[in-house]
Chains A and B, each alone.
Chain A
Amino acid sequence: MSRGNHLLFWTMMSVIGAVIAIYVLFPIFWLMLAGFKSADELARLPVSFWPSEPTLQAYTDLFAPGTQSAQLLDWPRLISNSFIVAVSSTVIVVFFGAIAGYAFSRLSFPGRDLILGGLLVSRMFQGAALLLPTFRLMNALGLEDSLLGLIILYSAFGLPFATWIIASGLREIPVELEEAAMIDGASRLQSMVIVVLPLATPALITAAMWHFVGAWSEFAFASILIESSRNTTVTIGLASFVDYFTLEFNRVGAAATIIALPVLVVFFFGQRYFTRGLLQGAVKG
């Protein structure tokens, strides 16, 4: 490619990328702005883009005791429920994913590559197909309507792909490093913990981020398994909020913004690992 063509190519790619970004981000931005408007302003015509009198009323309504929204849903509780579920299942998934990923990348056993490929295939099934069987299974196990049930379920769903990400990350780490460690006096476990896993940080963080975001924002399974308000998570709360406050959409905007915050924070701090972790397996064949 000549220099001029090169420039043209990247200009076009940038324009296309910008259009896609605006298309995806605009509704989210619109919703966030709604959270800073008053209910009156939202109902007013013509529709204004920027809040004419920015207010935090919707946010205080969410948490202030005695307000209508706070009576309907205990937001601090929803948030802590979601945190418990997302963080616990992330810890479980990364822990077991690291052990399994290590085995897939370092030990040779019959059918290894087939099983590793199979882990990816499991990603291709639509979760919806599993809703009913999962519901019956969790009922049979007595894990319906419990946070523990969600933690186990999310961990089970997340583990295959996390294992795959971590295994591809570990494959990039030269075996000689471990051999050197073992000659230097390390056991296999020591060489894994002291040498291999610190170097696999990008892959571990990628798996953790991917799983945390998925678990935090999961809706379908939570909505069929969770019944009591005690165990409700943020996504279910938001959905019911949409039903309650169709006319006071500023509260929905505020709630959605708060729910999106952890995801934004996770990506803000982890994105450099995230791209590296996903690329790790891809660059070398």
Chain B
Amino acid sequence: MLFKLAFRNIFRQRRRSLLTGLSMTGGFVLCTFSFSITQGSYGNAIEFFTLDHTGHIQIHWEDYEQRPKIYKTIADRDAVESILEKSDEVKAYAPRVFAPALAYAGNQTSPVSVIGIDAELEPTTSRIKQKVRSGEYFNEALTRNGFAKAMIGAGVANRLNIGLGDEIVLISQGADGSIANDIFEVVALVGTKDSYDRSSVYLPLVAAQEFISVGDQVHEYAMLVDHANSSEVIAASLQLQLDGVTPGATVSPWQVVEEAFYKSMQADLQGNYFAMAIIVFLVCIGVLNTVLMSVLERTKEFGVLRAIGSRPAQVFKLIFVETMLMATLSIALGYLLLIPLLTFLTQVGFVLPEPMEMGGVPFLHLKGGVNALVLTAPALIIYAFAALVTILPGIRAVSITPKTAMSSH
């Protein structure tokens, strides 16, 4: 009965209902849109570097993360790996070693960073295999010329003027103080001149370990987990387990590893929240305005309802149901409109006139993101506000006497 009445009321004054509805739809779409942009721009950036090289969680020895020294290595690899294997959360992990080095080829020299990666495990954790531009992804086997294989970043290839099949000479300092020096053969070019690894030289793990004399120890374990959002919690639990077996190993979630990025993201989010609050506020004012108008315009009508015997609570309920019904219809329409919009936003995104850089990660497109929060929060905000907004005119409609109501214009 109440719903029927509410429906009839809505469709009786089509033009007014359409206006009210559209303003709510507009508010809802705007709200979802800005939520999506905020979530998306960071979501993409985070996904970019966690999958590119950082992983969701990393393990180092003591303070290697802040003060990398070649001798700060994880010695008890078995202990670490057995914990990682056992964990249900850890999807994949990969050991790595790092060293700065000087690269020679012909008369050219260039400072490079040497990264030793497990040829089998690394592709499960990072996108290294997809980043191979030319040549073949390497393995531990020696080349036909008897050299260990190397994959080099575009910047290194450029500066040293070398390509596939060329020799690259690396000089560095070993963990024991000896001079590390060896020749490697380039079997693949990795990334572009703008990518994170433009000045990296990838070596197979064992070759790299031999090169810098660290035995079979490593500097880092990077891993991916099933739920990236709970990296911090998983890291804490791994830390607890590791403390028991090999104290000194330090577990850091990506929020710690990419601290510069994370901090600027947090600061930016704070700013965004403010902007979002303003948007939400404007939307709400719009809703308030339309609801208020539609109720006040019908004061006479409510007077009649009261006069023919409706109880105040019934009138109030009617107004409430009407508004909520209105909101539901508007939001439904909003979702319809959002389908193409969000698809565009997440798949294509706006091209930024100038690439923006944050913590070393370049943003070329402003993209949206879609998750439960983006899809539900704006709808809930609209609902809550619509409900809130009905209180005032509702009370007025209820408390006014039928006589004054009917005589009002």
Q: Do A and B come from one complex?
A: no
Residues of A in contact with B (beta carbons under 8 Å apart): none
Residues of B in contact with A (beta carbons under 8 Å apart): none
